[in-house]
Amino acid sequence: MSDTRGTIVSESCRSDLDPPRVPLAWQKSSNEDENSTKTSNQTHLVDSFVDTANADEIVVSSGGVVKRVVQQGSGDVVPLHATCLVHYVGRVLSSGEIFMDTCRGDHASPVQMIAGRDAIVKERGIHKVLATMKVGEICHVWVSPEFGYGSKGNFSFPSIPPNAHLSYAIEMVDFEAPRGTDVVSATLTYEERIEAAVRRRMQGNALFQEGDVDAAVSSYTSGLAFLDDDFIMQLYEFHYDRAMEEKILLLGNLAACHVKHGSYHDVIRVTSDVLAVDTKNIKALFRRGSARRKLGQTAEALDDLRMAKKLSEETSLVDPGILREIAAAKKDTRDQSKVQGSLYKAMIDSTLSAPTAQDVHAEEDQIGEDGPVASAATCADMETASHPSWYNTLINWLCPWWATRGSGVGTKEKAT
């Protein structure tokens, strides 16, 4: 990055960088002058922060960060977590007061910020916007308190009142690509660890979309290495919540890879890690329930899937996939009950009709070695029938006992 370029911009931005004085919705409506609009109804700041339909870009899906381009930039969009050199002016919308200006004053100069950095408590909005800009671009940005200085505000420099809506004028002067972070090191800062994990998650997402599931597993696993237990146990409040948010995203994506591979035991292990810290994670409940059903654990599967359905009903419409899995698990349960009932009945009937010792001796020469072979053949026929894998396993376990019990060979002869 060049400081010379920043100096040039600092001269030109005196007239260009003037942050909006009113929310975007007010700018687009009314013939009222700016001052009368600003003072007419301050509660409008909260009730109708911005008219997102008139924004060039909604940076955050909730509408908490909205951007309008004033001057187009050139080249590629700034990469995530690049170190950016920017000029910006910030304004408190309720009072119109400017709280930050890097363009004016004796020591005016561009400042460094990290594009897309959100592992911070204050001014997350402006950092998110930087990851959407190009070099030379100037934009106006509206930021809700959640992405500004929050409910508490800031009482040192800069002075920001609680729950303040902010506006910015930002110019992207230059940037440097993020440095590679290949090894987990004690020298990494909290922000660098989070950002390394985020980059690996995004890389894994791209690989997963391309169908390279094995490489995606490696990327997600690498990201999790930056969020190990020793690191997380040192964190509190916002910093802990942000780290766990990223870890849960990585674990969820890793579980999706295991589903693709049919590694259902791994699916259960990873989703259980998620549910240990987020008991209401619907995706984790659904994936674990589906994996348990595939392994024949229908009772546990139904517990997970019913909980996922219940939580979905509390927040939104239930995913049809959850309903299909519940129906399939119920069908498996009914099928298991029918097969078990048939087997138990056959066992009881064979016991009641078992031949006496006299019958065995009378038919001994006729049975010879064919009896056990015939029983085994019968078992083989049963096993090759079209049944679920758990049914065949049960038949394999019961057949040897059944064959000897039914023929009367074994305990009676030993007793004599």
Say what the pLDDT of residue 179 is.
73
Q: Residue 211: what residue type?
A: G
How far is the CA of 64 from the CAs of 59, 128, 130, 134, 142, in angstroms? 8, 11, 15, 21, 8
Name the burial class of residue 279, with classes exposed (0-12), middle (13-18) and buried (19+) by CB atoms within 10 angstroms of its CB.
Answer: exposed
- DSSP letter (8 states) at residue 106: T
Q: What is the 3-state secondary structure (H, E, C) of 141-205?
A: EEECHHHCCCCCCECCCCCECCCCCEEEEEEEEEEECCCCCCCCCCCCCHHHHHHHHHHHHHHHH
pLDDT tens-place string over residues 188-199: 889 989 999 999
The rounded distance, in Å, linking the Cα atoms of 199 and 194 is: 9
Distance from C-alpha of 78 to C-alpha of 85, rounded to nearest angstrom: 11
pLDDT at site 57 = 66
pLDDT of residue 167: 92
- What pLDDT, on a 0 to 100 scale, did the predictor assign at position 248? 96
Amino acid found at 283: K
CB 219, CB 209: distance < 8 Å: no
Q: What residues in the chain have per-residue pLDDT under 70?
A: 1-16, 22-57, 61-62, 106-107, 180-183, 345, 349-416
Q: What is the pLDDT of residues 247-281, one digit of tens each?
A: 999 999 999 999 999 999 999 999 999 999 999 99
> Using CA atoms, how far apart are residues 115 and 227, in angstroms rounded to an integer?
21
Compute the distance between CA of residue 413 and CA of residue 274 in angstroms, rounded to an integer.
58
Per-residue pLDDT, 357: 55
> How many other CB atoms sit within 10 Å of the CB of residue 388?
13
Is the backbone of residue 96 left (phi > 0), alpha (psi -120 to 50) or beta? left
Q: How far is CA 362 from the centre of its chain?
A: 71
Long-range CB contacts for residues 28-33, cutoff 8 Å, separation at least 24:
28/54
Query: Is residue 213 classed as helix, strand or coil in its secondary structure?
Result: helix
Give CA–CA dist 212/175, Å, rounded.
Answer: 31
pLDDT of residue 64: 86
Q: Residue 140's CB: how many other CB atoms inside 10 A? A: 21
The b-or-e profile of 9-26 (16+ CB within 10 A means b, else e) is bbeebeeebbbbbbbbbb
